[in-house]
Amino acid sequence: MVIKVTTPFGYVTAFGGTSFDIYVGDESIEVISLDGTVDFVVEGDSARYEVVAGSYSILCDGRTVGQGDGKVDADWDDWNAGRDDLWTERLQVKGDSIRYMPEELYEDSYTLEENGRWERVYYEGGYRNMWRPVRVGADWAPYTSGRWTVWNDDNCWVPDEPFGYVTHHYGNWIRMDTCNCWYWAPPVVSVSVATVPVLDPCGTCWYPGRVGWIHSGIDIGWVPLAPYETYYSYRYWGGRTTIINSTNIGAININVGNYSYINQAVIVNQNNFYNVNNYNNVRITNINKTTIINNYNGAPVINNTVINNYTSIKNRYNYNNNINVVNKPHDMVVDRIHRNQKFASDSRHVDSRSISKQVSGIREGRVRGDARIQEPRVSDRLVPADKMRKPKSDLSFDQRGLKKNERPPREISTDRLRGGRAGSESDPSDRTRVGRERPGRPGRPGEDTPGVRGPRDRGIESEGRERPGRPGRPGEDTPGVRGPRDRGIESEGRGRTRGQMPDRSLDQAPGVRSPGERQPGREQQRPGQDDTRQQQRLQQQQQRQQQQMQQQQMQRQQRQEQQRPGQDDTRQQQRLQQQQQRQQQQMQQQQMQRQQRQQQQRQEVQPQQPQQPQQPQQQGGQKRRQQPEQQQQGQPPFFHQ
């Protein structure tokens, strides 16, 4: 995997397993490598500069490249370390959620373990594993604790519960009359043998909020959709979606009596629809199923027919109504966002291989030790609302530095990062998994379009701090829809990017194809092979560390040689030797990976020996869970039958 971060002064590329900070100011940028080696490319100069962890940083004003002291902002560094520790702890969660959740949603397992339990439920012809919230009231229902907001043309649900994001944007809510309660059915990615019908053919598709709309006079309501019911929207979000446009909207006729959960409809006065953050206190309750069927009409989407003057309601874009906005971004910031969106759209089809090839062909530049480049400073472009459109020449923007308290960066635990650089062929298990691209796939506020997670090998233009936040959680910056997990989008000048995140392996359950069976190169544990697997992983880790140390040593030698004049021929010979050594190391690593894949294929075709009586069988016939290997955004299984 390769990450590319684009700024006005150049772009940074980094292989998986690296970590770096960028400080983007008005007139300059600073790039600091925290782990491994990254490249900074100045496009105007057509030169590439390596930034090595533990060495100096790179300062650039778009023309000249100089050295920085490599120090970071202490508060920013502490915040990132705290987030790393938090997610490392969360990813260690144990329990049923790690068995029944798709691998892309592992990071949400902790919320389900803390707020509910998994139960075996009979639904649509067979028993299924579903999750039931327990830290809620007896009359709790989905799509009640939170609010609606318009995002990417469709109404998007902003949940209030800690478990609300994953359960309202993935999978399906199912009402069970036997207990008068709601269960959440997780997405199904793949099954080896489908013993019961698959509820969600799209897998981990993200939806703004799968509900059907009803209205009558000044009332508006919504009904949670059953898995097989059609979701109408202005964009395509996934399976069983019908896209609405001006041509077909008049031909759609919805019979509200056909909704499976019509008696669970949530109905409110239109004045409360976009003006509250929770509908429990304003919900109309004295309406029964018969009244709804006889008096309410169905609507595929909300428009001026459903709510009078709908398109003129400004509150429909609010994520929270309890915020008093005094200042707003100047128009130059908005223009910059529009340019970034166009850039991201134009770069959508760029992949890791093409980025690596492009960067490797750029000549190495030489850092000027005598260059005097000011450290990045950023202007505060938030202005009173009445000055948003004034020319910037008529305004005065306060400027400040991005590092209030400087210090050397913390040491990053190698357990959280994965190796991989120098163009080496990555092990399949070492690749960030990328979700399928769709027009309008939900990204989260701060992104152009919503998606699964993580930087998808595309540039992130950053005018401010790239904060690894997760929008969409109660108490966090942007409630409702969240961005790539602990990756930043835009904020205030500082940004940290990590190559990848900790991995979670998945239990193999009966009837479900495990990640190891579908992904070549990922080894599975078999009975009696624990020690061998552990030794192999330790040897591979040692080899990667040795290669990285050798590479960093060669890079230091290259920089030292560049500072000694009169040795051109000697340096040229040394560079050729070093290049040959790197190529040999890459060939050895590729050969080792091929051997691993061949070994796994041989193991998969061998029949498994019956277990001896003295070896106890684990409950449910499950195989032993793999220990988290190097790392995780592929996409495995579901409905464990």
Query: Are residues 82 and 9 part of one domain?
Result: yes
**Residues 220, 306: contact at Cβ < 8 Å?**
yes
Query: Are residues 105 and 185 part of one domain?
Result: yes
Single out the residue in 498, 531, 547 at which a domain terminates: 498
Query: Are residues 272 and 408 part of one domain?
Result: no
**Residues 442, 208: contact at Cβ < 8 Å?**
yes
Q: Tell me: the pLDDT tens digits for 283-329?
A: 999 899 999 999 999 999 999 999 999 999 999 999 887 888 889 99
Q: Is 169 helix (H, G, I), strand (E, B) or coil?
A: helix
Query: Are residues 409 and 486 part of one domain?
Result: yes
The single-letter DSSP state of residue 515 is H
Domain count, the chain: 2
Mean pLDDT of 461-486: 37
Two tokens at 595? 């051997």
578 within a domain of the structure (yes/no) = no
Two tokens at 415? 């357990």
Mean pLDDT of 209-229: 97
Torsion-angle region of 287 (φ positive above 0: left; ψ -120 to 50: alpha; else: beta): beta
Q: How many CB atoms lie within 10 A of CB 324?
A: 4
Q: What is the CA radius of gyration of the chain?
A: 27
Query: Are residues 27 and 112 part of one domain?
Result: no
Query: Are residues 257 and 162 part of one domain?
Result: yes
Per-residue pLDDT for 389 more than 70?
yes
Query: Are residues 111 and 163 part of one domain?
Result: yes
221 pLDDT tier (thresholds 50, 70, 90): very high
Q: How many CB atoms lie within 10 A of CB 577?
A: 11
Query: Are residues 313 and 352 part of one domain?
Result: no
Q: Please state whether the predicted TM-score (pTM) of the whole model is above 0.75.
A: no
The single-letter DSSP state of residue 150 is E
Q: Tell me: the pLDDT tens digits for 150-207?
A: 999 999 999 999 999 999 999 999 999 999 999 999 998 655 445 666 776 677 899 9
pLDDT the model gives residue 479: 36
3-state secondary structure string, 618-638?
Answer: CHHHCCCCCCCCCECCCCCCC
Query: Are residues 342 and 252 part of one domain?
Result: no
Q: Is 422 helix (H, G, I), strand (E, B) or coil?
A: coil
Tell me the C-alpha to C-alpha distance, in Å, between residue 67 and each of 6, 52, 377, 400. 20, 12, 17, 21
pLDDT the model gives residue 571: 61
Domain that holds residue 117: 97-317
Query: Are residues 9 and 59 part of one domain?
Result: yes
**Residues 363, 48: contact at Cβ < 8 Å?**
yes
The single-letter DSSP state of residue 105 is G
**Residues 225, 254: contact at Cβ < 8 Å?**
no
Q: How many CB atoms lie within 10 A of CB 345?
A: 12
**Residues 307, 313: contact at Cβ < 8 Å?**
yes
345 vs 221: which has the higher pLDDT? 221
